[in-house]
Amino acid sequence: MTGAQRREQLLRVGRKVFADKGVGNATVEEIASVAGVTKPVVYEHFGGKEGLYAVVVDREMQTLVDTIASALQSGEAGRPLLARAALAVLTYVEEQPDGFRVMSHDSPHWHGTGRLGSLLADIGDRVEAVLAGGFEEAGIDPKFAPIYSQMLVGMIAYTGDWWLEHENALTKEELAAHMTNFAWNGMKGLEGRPELRLDSVKPEETISPS
């Protein structure tokens, strides 16, 4: 193998080992053994388990961000946009389960992003710019985009994590439909300056279904 090919092989092997065992239980010895190399080869390319893990996580995060961003930027807006985003992430979960499991495992204390929640917050930050553009077009102050990007990413990612362990419960299309139903029926009347209403809704204020 060339150096680049070996690096890619170690990334694939590392992702699989991290997904199966978690980074805390994974060892350089095991990664090297599965890859058919000696430990110094892993150290040469990544400086150790920590370096390998950091590259694996960064790649998976970028893949997930690109997946969400592509869905949000393509085609018709509104409910179809949410449906595409949900289905795209679930397709990623289905096709790249090891990568998603790596991000689902709790990260070690020495990894800057910490737990899954921190990883998702980072992903939300990257999706923020995509939502901000849509907010401007809709006449909504883009300063609120960070809030909605975190909610959107969190809903899709955490539900995808549940589905990965319960794939037989329903198909990805069925789950995407439920996720879209929840998100859309909570977002279709999105207000630019929402108010917190703690009193009960008066009958005349009830919105009839369209």
pTM for the full model?
0.73
Model confidence over 91-133: pLDDT tens digits?
Answer: 989 999 999 888 877 555 544 544 566 667 777 777 787 778 7
Domain range for 91 is 57-188
Q: Is residue 119 part of a domain?
A: yes
Instruction: Output the domain CATH number for residue 164.
Output: 1.10.357.10
Q: Is residue 176 part of a domain?
A: yes
Highest mean pLDDT among 19-23, 31-35, 168-172, 176-180: 31-35
Q: Is residue 170 part of a domain?
A: yes
Q: Is residue 209 part of a domain?
A: no
How many folded domains does the chain comprise? 1
As to burial, measured by CB atoms within 10 angstroms (0-12 exposed, 13-18 middle, 19+ buried), residue 96 is: middle
Length of the chain measured in residues: 210
Q: Taking the alpha carbons of 68, 69, 75, 76 in that order, is the dihedral positive or negative? A: positive
As to burial, measured by CB atoms within 10 angstroms (0-12 exposed, 13-18 middle, 19+ buried), residue 207 is: exposed
Q: Is residue 30 part of a domain?
A: no
DSSP characters over 23-59 = TTT--HHHHHHHHTS-HHHHHHHHSSHHHHHHHHHHH
By C-alpha distance, which of 184, 69, 75 is closest to 133?
69
By C-alpha distance, which of 132, 171, 166 is closest to 149?
132
pLDDT score of 116: 61
